[in-house]
Amino acid sequence: MPVSIRFLGGTRTVTGSSHLISTSKSEVLLDAGLFQGRRDEFYQVNTTFQYNPRKVDALILSHAHIDHCGNIPSLIKKGLRCKIYTTSATKNLCKLMLEDSGKIQEEDIKYVNKVNRRLGLPLRKPLYTKKEAMRATKIFRAISYAERFCVTKDIFVTLYDAGHILGSSIITLEIKDSLRTIRLGYAVDLGRNNLPLLNDPVVPRGLDYLIIESTYGGRFHAPIEEAKERLKEAINRTVERKGKILTPAFTLERTQEVLYFLNELLKEKAIPTIPIYVDSPLATDITDLFKVHFDYLNAQTRRLIKQGYSPFEFLNLKFIREQEESKVLNSDKRPKIIIAGSGMCESGRILHHLKNNIEDSRNTILVVGYMAKDTLGRRIVEKKRIVNIFGLDHELNAEVVTINSFSGHADRNGLLEFINGCLPLKRIFLVHGDEEQSQLLFDALSERGLNAHIPTKGEEVLLD
Ligand SMILES: [Zn+2]
Ligand SMILES: [Zn+2]
C-alpha cells in the first residue's frame, strides 16, 4: 500500500500550512492555512488546489491561527465536505477567527473595487465572505487530547497539547494496513516550555516520521520572564511622565498573556493601579473563550482563577466592545494601558489611538508581537520619524518599546530538544520556516546524523 505526503503549502515559508496524506483508501488533510502575501499572489495561491477537495475524507486541524485554518472556507467553496477534527477550544476559536477573516476579506475587496471602479477595471469578489466563513464552522467535530480517534478506514488520529496557543495540538496519525502501521507526527506550530497560561508541549513517542515547524530554526528566545520585566519597566516609566501605554493587540493568546503578566505585576504591586482597557470586540470574545475552556490552561493559571486572581477579570481591567466607548478613551488624559487591534496596526481601533497619541513624547507604544514588512507596525518598530495614519503624516514622538521574548514558538533549542525526545525517527520534514531558518535547523540535524528534509511546495514523498 503506497502512503504519501504531499506538501501543499507552508514549505520554505511560514504561512499557508497544508499537507495531504494519501493512502489507497483515504485522503487526509493536515491544516488548511491562509497564505499571506501581496494581494495578487494571495488570491492566486489561496484559490489554487493541487488536489480535489471533494475527495478529502478528513481534515485534521492543529490550531486556530489563520495561517493554519484560514483557507477552510475556500476549500468548502471548492467542494470539501468532510468532517474537520480538532479540539473543542480550537473549534470555538476558529469560529471567531474565520468570521473575522471573512470580514477582512470583504473590506479589502470593497477597497479594491472602489479603485477598480474608478479605473474602469473589472470588479473582484472576496476570497470568502463572513457568511461563507460561518458556514465552514458547521462541519467541525471536537475531540479531546489523547483520545485515539478513527477518522477514515485506515487512519487513526490522536491529538496532544502543543503548548502553542489555547487548544493547539500536535497531531499524530497511525496509518494502517494488514501488513504494517506507519506513525506520523505533526508539530506545526510547536509551543515552548514555561509559557504563561499554557501547558508545556507533550512529546509523542513511537513515531516513524515527524513533520515539524522551523520558524526559529536558527534563533534563540530570551526567557519569557524577561517579557514581564520589560513590561514593568515600560509601564512605570510611562506612568511617571503621565503618559498612556498603547499596545497593538494580537488578539489570540498574546493579549491574554499580556493580561496575565499585568495581573501578576499588579498583585506584586510592581506597577501602579491604572486603568487597563482591552479595546477590541474580537480580543474580548477570544478572552471569553479562555474562560469557557479554562480546562486547557495550565495548573498554575487554573489555581489562580480558583483563588480569585483571574488574569481575565480584575478590578481595573475593562473590555470594550462598543465604538462609542472606545472614542471616550481619547478625551481621558489620565495614564492608562490600551490594548487594541489590529496587531500589525493595519486596521482597527489601534489606528485611532495611535493618531491621537503618537505625537506625544509622554506616551509609549508597546510592541509585543511580530510586525511584518510593509506594515505600519513595522514602521513604528523601526522608529521612522514620520508615519502615515489615515492618509496624514504624524511625527513619531512616543517612546517605542519592542518586547521580543513573548514568542509562542519553540526556538532552536526547543525544536532540537523536542526532536530528541521523539527519536528514533526515520525521517524529519522541516516546514513552516523561511528558507534560511529551515536550513539552519536542517544543518543541526544533519550534524547529529539525522535524516532531515526540507520539502518544496507540491513535493510528494512516499512513506515506507
Ligand atoms: Zn500558530
Ligand atoms: Zn503558524
- CB 436, CB 443: distance < 8 Å: no
Q: How far is the CA of 168 from the centre of ligand 2 (A)?
A: 11
Q: How confident is the model at residue 374 (pLDDT cuts 50, 70, 90)?
A: confident
pTM for the whole structure: 0.95
Assess whether pLDDT exceeds 90 at residue 177: no
Q: How sure is the predictor about 92, in pLDDT bands with cuts at 50, 70 and 90?
A: very high
Percent of the chain scored above 90 by pLDDT?
A: 90
Q: Which ligand is nearest to the CA of 433?
A: 2
Q: Find out whether 186 and 171 touch, Cβ atoms under 8 Å.
A: yes
Q: Would you state the pLDDT for residue 335?
A: 97
Mean pLDDT calculated for residue range 194-213: 97
What's the CA-to-centroid distance between 366 and ligand 2, angstroms? 23
Task: Please write the tens of the pLDDT for every residue from 239-279.
Answer: 999 999 999 989 999 999 999 999 999 999 999 999 999 99
Tell me, in angstroms, the distance from the centre of ligand 2 to residue 244's CA.
Answer: 32
Across 123-147, average pLDDT? 94
The span from the CA of 83 to the CA of 121, in Å, is 39
Ion ligand 2: residue ranges with CB closer than 5 A:
67, 189
From ligand 1's centre to the CA of 164, what distance in Å? 7
Predicted confidence band of residue 137 (pLDDT cuts 50, 70, 90): confident
CA 16 to centroid of ligand 1, rounded, Å: 11
Upstream peptide bond of 424 is cis (omega within 30 degrees of 0): yes
Domains of the chain and CATH, by start: 3-219+408-463 (3.60.15.10), 225-402 (3.40.50.10890)
- CB-based neighbours (< 5 A) of ligand 1, an ion: 65, 189
What 3-state class would DSSP assign to 148? Answer: coil
Q: How remote is the CA of residue 426 from the centroid of ligand 2, in Å?
A: 24
Ligand number nearest to the C-alpha of 97: 1
pLDDT at 174: 98
pLDDT, the chain, mean: 95
| Average pLDDT over every residue of 451-460 | 97
pLDDT in tens, 384-432: 999 999 999 999 999 999 998 999 999 999 999 999 999 999 999 999 9
- Expressed in angstroms and rounded, the spacing between residue 242 Cα and the centre of ligand 2 is 38
Q: Which residues of 425-462 are buried (b: 16+ CB within 10 A; e: fewer)?
A: beebbbbbbeeebbbbbbebbeeeebebbbbebeeeee
Identify which ligand lies nearest to the alpha carbon of 431. Answer: 2
Whether 237 has a pLDDT exceeding 80, the answer reads yes
Band the pLDDT of 1: cuts 50, 70, 90.
low
SS3 109: helix
What CA–CA distances, in Å, run from 412 to 129, 342, 449?
Answer: 38, 29, 17
Distance from Cα 63 to the centre of ligand 1, integer Å: 7
Average pLDDT over residues 98-110: 94
Please name the helix (run of DSSP H) or strand (run of DSSP E) that holds residue 318, with its range, or none. Answer: strand 317-319
Give the confidence band of 370 by pLDDT, cuts at 50, 70, 90. confident
Distance 190 CA to ligand 1 centre (A): 8
CA dihedral defined by 412, 416, 419, 420, rounded to 10 degrees?
A: -170
| Mean pLDDT within 178-202 | 95
